Each structure stands twice: as structure tokens, then as C-alpha cells.
Amino acid sequence: MKPAEIAQARSRSYQLISRLFLQGVTPETLPVIQAAPELAAVLPDPVDFDELAAVHYQLLGMNVFPYESIFLDDSGLLGGRVTDGVIRGYQRFGFAADTAVDSADHIGHELAALAALCQAEAEARESNLTPLIASRQDWQREFLEEHLLRWLPPFVLALRQQGDDFFTAVANLILELAAHHYNELAETPADPGAFLPPAPDILADEKTSLKDIARYLVTPAYSGLYFSRDDVSRLARRLELPRGFGDRQQMLVNLLRTAVQYDQLTAVITGLVALTDWWQGAYWRIGVDYPKMAGFTAVWQEKAAQSGQILAQMQDVIRDA
């Protein structure tokens, strides 16, 4: 393929995955999905659009929240400085996200922005406008480094944990697409620095409560992990413990409290340690598979390792009690 055709194809791929994250499978995207072997192989048969819409809402509306701010902000909440930074990133190259329904830092909008940049590169190549080609590629690289690649690894791993075959395939596809794209753009991998906030030393404070521990664990920027409602429910079911209702933090608080009540706290902590081990290994694997992304995944891997150490300390305290 010619460079212009490659840029065009990349734009279309970003646009398709953007629409899948924003809208799920629709009659308009179905033919394109069926033409993509990786996605067609895991598409339910027969296709029921109502059922697929329910899955999309359950997964991305109730469990894995697809926003950069959720993953990078120390509040673990939507909006704020992280979202503002994404908007400023769009403004640099004239992209306007349709935020009537979703926040500007939704992964679907970030992928749409990259699709627009790749399309602009394709058009510049077709017109042989060399300076414009370089500037469009610089914008692509900068947006990947400053935004998408900083939170794509934990987002992809969070989706894998949910066990939905179709969106696991979508997540793996966008990881591969973004990694290969960055590999072509960056001659040498960037050093992203410490782009996550320092985590509090929660065990150093004798007043730390189960609520504080739960908040730490469900804040990805601190823990390096992502716990969905369903993740907490699965752990509770495995140990035959009630976990109640509420948001992710409240459900984890409920689980920890009932574990104390039923003398199962050690078992819950052991389950959480196993999850941190899985996350550390998964980050390492991404760094191995996509070496130029290793600087980004290493930051997350270190956070997950710190969480594992905290949980191991809690195990020691429980044993000695």
C-alpha cells in the first residue's frame, strides 16, 4: 500500500473502533465488522441489536468507564484537569468532539480525533504537501504520547477482565493499532515520566479505614488497577460473601466489611493479591509485545506492584493479629 492509502486505512480503523466504543454495534457498522476477521469471529450469531446495545451499556456504562480522567485523575472521577487537558489537545489541531452525550475524554472521541489526523495526513500525501505531512504526523505522535497511550493499557486490561469476547477483541485491536501506529511515528520511544500522581501511604496512617483502602484500590491512578462492579461481584461470589449494591467503591467496602464479619478477610485479600499479580504480568506482556510502549506500561506496572505490596502487608498484619 502507498503511504496515503495506509494513512487512509488507519483513519477508517480508528473511526470504526471509535463508533463501537461510543455506540456499540449498529446496523451501519455491522457490514464493516463482518468484513473484519478479528471481530466477525466473535460477533454473536444471530445478531440481535437490542441485546448488543444492552451489553454495550452494561460493559461501558456500568463497569469499565471509558474516560481518560477516570484512569489518570487522582479523584478517580470524570472531568476536571485531565478532561480539560484533552480538550486543549483537540484545540491544537482543530478537532471538536461531539460532547452532547459523552465527555470529551471518552475513548471514542480520542480515537475520532486520531482518525481525523490520519485523514488529514492522507490528504496531505495525496497533494504532496510535505510540510503538512510532517505536522500531521507530529500531532498524531504527540496526542498518542500525551493522551491515549497513557491510559490505553489499563483500559484494555480492564475490558479483558470482563469476559466479553467481542469487546475484548475490540480492545485488543485498538491496542495493536495504536501500538503499531506509534511504532511508525516514534523513532525512539518517549520517556513519559511520572504521569500518574503519587499514591498516599495509606498503611502509614493508623486511622486508615476499610473505606480508605477501597478508595485507593478503585482509583486506577493510585493502584494501577481497575476494579469494576462485576469484578467485585465475581470475587464475592467465589468466596460466597455478600457485596451489596452501589458504585465500585461502595461494593468493595461492603465486601471488605462482610469479609471481616465472616472471618474471611484473609481470603479476600488473597484474591486481591492474585488480581494485582495478574495486572503486573499483563502490563509486562504489553511492554514486551510493543517495546515502544514499555515506558507507559512500566508506570502502571510499578503502581500495581505497590498495591500488591500494600495488600501483602495487610495479609501479614492479619496473620499476626
pLDDT per residue as tens digits for the range 98-107: 888 899 999 9
pLDDT in tens, 271-295: 999 999 999 999 999 999 999 999 9
| Measured distance CA(109)–CA(103) in Å, rounded | 8
pLDDT of residue 274: 94
8 Å CB contact between 304 and 279: yes
Retrieve residue 183's grid coordinates. 511504532
The single residue listed with the C-alpha cell 512500566 is 298
Q: Where are the domains of the chain?
A: 3-185, 204-320
pLDDT of residue 39: 96
The single residue listed with the C-alpha cell 459523552 is 102
Q: What is the signed CA dihedral for 34, 37, 42, 46, rounded to 10 degrees?
A: 30
pLDDT of residue 157: 98
Q: Against a cut of 0.85, is the pTM above it? A: yes
The amino acid at 118: C
| Measured distance CA(183)–CA(47) in Å, rounded | 35
| Measured distance CA(123)–CA(129) in Å, rounded | 9
pLDDT of residue 301: 97
Cα dist from 303 to 217, 254, 285, 293, whole Å = 11, 24, 16, 16
- Number of Cβ within 10 Å of residue 61's Cβ equals 11
Secondary element (H or E) of residue 258: helix 248-261
From first to last of its 321 residues, the chain has per-residue pLDDT tens of: 899 999 999 999 999 999 999 999 999 999 999 999 999 999 998 999 999 999 999 999 999 999 999 999 998 888 899 999 999 999 999 999 988 889 999 999 999 999 999 999 999 999 988 889 999 999 999 999 999 999 999 999 999 999 999 999 999 999 999 999 999 999 888 888 889 999 988 888 888 899 999 999 999 999 999 999 999 999 999 999 987 788 999 999 999 999 999 999 999 999 999 999 999 999 999 999 999 999 999 999 999 999 999 999 988 777 665
pLDDT of residue 321: 54
pLDDT of residue 60: 97
Retrieve residue 17's grid coordinates. 473502533
8 Å CB contact between 58 and 65: no
| Measured distance CA(15)–CA(119) in Å, rounded | 10
CA angle, residues 197, 199, 200, in degrees to nearest 5: 135
| Measured distance CA(79)–CA(85) in Å, rounded | 10
CATH class of 3-185: mainly alpha
Cα dist from 34 to 57, 133, 316, whole Å = 21, 32, 52
pLDDT of residue 57: 97
Closest Cα partner for 286 from 303, 272, 298, 276?
298
